[in-house]
């Protein structure tokens, strides 16, 4: 199992992944930490 969440940084990549994997998107807006 991965030791961290592998965040996607790009919107198009996130949408494409979600479409292909049929999964919802967790969008996290952050400032720090």
From the CB of 9, what's the least distance to other proteins, in Å? 6
CB of 2 to other proteins, least distance (A): 6
* CB-based contact 14:7 (threshold 8 Å): no
Q: How many CB atoms lie within 10 A of CB 18?
A: 14
Q: Are 14 and 8 in contact (CB under 8 A)?
A: yes
CB of 16 to other proteins, least distance (A): 9
Interface of this chain with other proteins, residues 1 to 20, rule: CB under 8 A: 1-11, 14-15, 17-19
Report DSSP state, residue 10: -
Residues that bind other proteins (CB under 8 A): 1-11, 14-15, 17-19, 21-33
């Amino acid at each position: 199992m991965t030791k961290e969440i592998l965040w996607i940084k790009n919107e198009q990549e996130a949408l494409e992944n979600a479409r292909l994997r049929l999964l919802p998107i967790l969008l996290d807006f952050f400032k720090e930490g």
